[in-house]
A and B are shown apart, each in its own frame.
Chain A
Amino acid sequence: MTMPAFRLERPRSLADAVSILATHGPDAMILAGGTDVVPNLQMKLFSPRVLVDIKPLAKNAQLASIDWSPANGLRIGALATLTSICESPLIREKFPVLAAAVATIAGPLQRNMGTVGGNLCLETRCQWYNQSDFWRKSLGGCLKKDGPICHVAPGGKFCWAAWSGDSAPALLTLDAEIEITGPQGARRLPLAQFYKNDGMDRIALGRDELLTAVHVPARMAGRRGNYHKLRVRNSIDYPLAGVAVSMHVDSRGICRDARLALTAVNPAPLLVKEACEWLAGQPASPELIDRVAQQAIRTAKPLTTSGSTPVYRRDMVRVFTRRALEESWRSADGK
């Protein structure tokens, strides 16, 4: 497989990067670690005229560092590698759900290259889409690329390609915000509002903008949390379903506050909003856990975007939700 032709820009400053993006608009595409973008380019899924390699910006410490202060919380530069995040003692201690989720992304080689910004901006995935040019042409394309119909839901005009990142659900359970930089400067956006739940148009990022940092509020530090990922192999694979939980449990075993988020079962990573409401102020009980797990299933709408069946993936969302909640309560008990 060959690479399509493009011009490569390697801006040395954030301002340059923004200006290049603004100049080229939809013809430009951002490249960071390359683990998602480059295979997709080889498959001819995109044909940008300009590829903007933002890795040189990592020299700007702000864009690749992991910083914590009790006043400002956690800030991770978008170019921080996934390895640096899952191996960070700080993140392991204070934000275990994030460390756990990031440690499951692909494998160590991919995590050495991939960045958190890239992982939050992954292209959505589908077995009818992530295929070679030859393969897709033989099929006649799909709604997302070069074709009239969605092979997952042939009747509709909606693309169901699945959000398949692991860090986003973890960060959703931490009320993360992202910092987006564009021609007008930086703005902050709750991560939950970044995702559009549309397989074709996945994120709310302007063509002249780039994601520059992730912020987690200080109040989320120290929460228990964990991440359960469905995949065939314990390395390399994208998630087929994923459940992230963060929870604050008091000394009496009462959940003071919790978040539950799902991935790989919708075109966006989604918080199960009811979980937050139902869990707050409650002690662990099988009935409550089961009720939340049932609600997680209602949030999950997996379709035939991957090799595993929707029925099984929904099933696993239920099992993983229950396990994630039980573990959070258990670990909070210190048991």
Chain B
Amino acid sequence: MSKQLIKLRVNGEQYELAVPPNKLLLDVLREDLGLTGTKRGCDDSSCGACSVLVDGVPMLACVALAASYQDCELTTVEGLGTLDALHPVQSSWGDAGGAQCGFCTSGFLISTKALLDRNPHPSLDEIREALSANLCRCTGYMQIYESVKLAIERAAAAKAAGAGS
């Protein structure tokens, strides 16, 4: 199968690469761009480990053809923050126990980021609903909720600090 040239915008960077038309966005991210933070946990779009933001909306990279997402702004976990400047959802996930094995973490962070961008103060029910397509086998979800709550507090504190300065 011949490759075709596609352009992808990922984490603010523009990429041009040749891929076969049947190549999934998940595989292009992991294999062609080296962005291995996005994971494959299943083969039937049912675990959420591959979640990425497409124009700010969380979607499954495992059922997306890369060539179909050329006109979009894509964000992976690597684009949320850096080790020096973690996004509040990232730092809170570490501090409140949201990540045990860490394999589902990037998907949860993507879904949580999208939730908090739309709704900075979600109720517990809204958090549960927004995260209900991301499976975690380690935590029983309690520390994930704690992590979301901590992220909300930190985001609010950062905002207040920013407003005060």
Complex: A in contact with B (CB within 8 Å): yes
Residues of A within 8 A of B (CB): 1, 3-8, 10, 31, 33-35, 37-39, 41-43, 51, 53, 55-56, 83, 106-110, 112-113, 132, 234-236
On whether the beta carbons of B68 and A5 are closer than 8 Å, the reply is no
Min Cβ gap B33→A in Å is 18
Residue among B22, B43, B67, B134 making CB contact with A109, cutoff 8 Å:
B134
For this complex, 19 residue pairs linking A to B, each with C-beta atoms less than 8 Å apart, are: A1-B43, A5-B20, A5-B22, A7-B21, A31-B65, A39-B63, A42-B43, A43-B43, A53-B67, A55-B68, A107-B132, A108-B129, A108-B133, A109-B48, A109-B51, A109-B134, A110-B45, A113-B59, A132-B43
Tell me, in angstroms, the Cα distance from A42 to B23 when the chains sit together.
Answer: 11
A-B contact count (CB 8 A): 91
Tell me, in angstroms, the Cα distance from A164 to B135 when the chains sit together.
Answer: 22
On whether the beta carbons of B60 and A109 are closer than 8 Å, the reply is yes
Chain B interface size band reads 20 to 34
Tell me, in angstroms, the Cα distance from A43 to B44 when the chains sit together.
Answer: 9
Residues of B within 8 A of A (CB): 1, 4, 20-24, 43-46, 48, 51, 57-60, 62-65, 67-68, 71, 111, 129-130, 132-135
Interchain residue pairs A-B with the least CB separation, the first 4:
A107-B133, A8-B21, A235-B132, A38-B63
On whether the beta carbons of B23 and A3 are closer than 8 Å, the reply is yes
Tell me, in angstroms, the Cα distance from A8 to B64 when the chains sit together.
Answer: 13
Interface centre among A1, A42, A106, A108 (most CB of B within 10 A): A108
On whether the beta carbons of A108 and B130 are closer than 8 Å, the reply is yes
Residue among B4, B62, B132 making CB contact with A108, cutoff 8 Å:
B132
Tell me, in angstroms, the Cα distance from A83 to B111 when the chains sit together.
Answer: 14
On whether the beta carbons of B65 and A34 are closer than 8 Å, the reply is yes
On whether the beta carbons of A113 and B133 are closer than 8 Å, the reply is no
Tell me, in angstroms, the Cα distance from A112 to B63 when the chains sit together.
Answer: 12
Contact residues in B for A42 (Cβ distance below 8 Å): 43-44
On whether the beta carbons of A53 and B65 are closer than 8 Å, the reply is yes
Contact residues in A for B133 (Cβ distance below 8 Å): 106-110, 235-236
Beyond A106-B133, A109-B134, A112-B58, is A10–B64 a contact (Cβ under 8 Å)? no
Tell me, in angstroms, the Cα distance from A234 to B60 when the chains sit together.
Answer: 19
Interface centre among A33, A38, A51, A106 (most CB of B within 10 A): A38
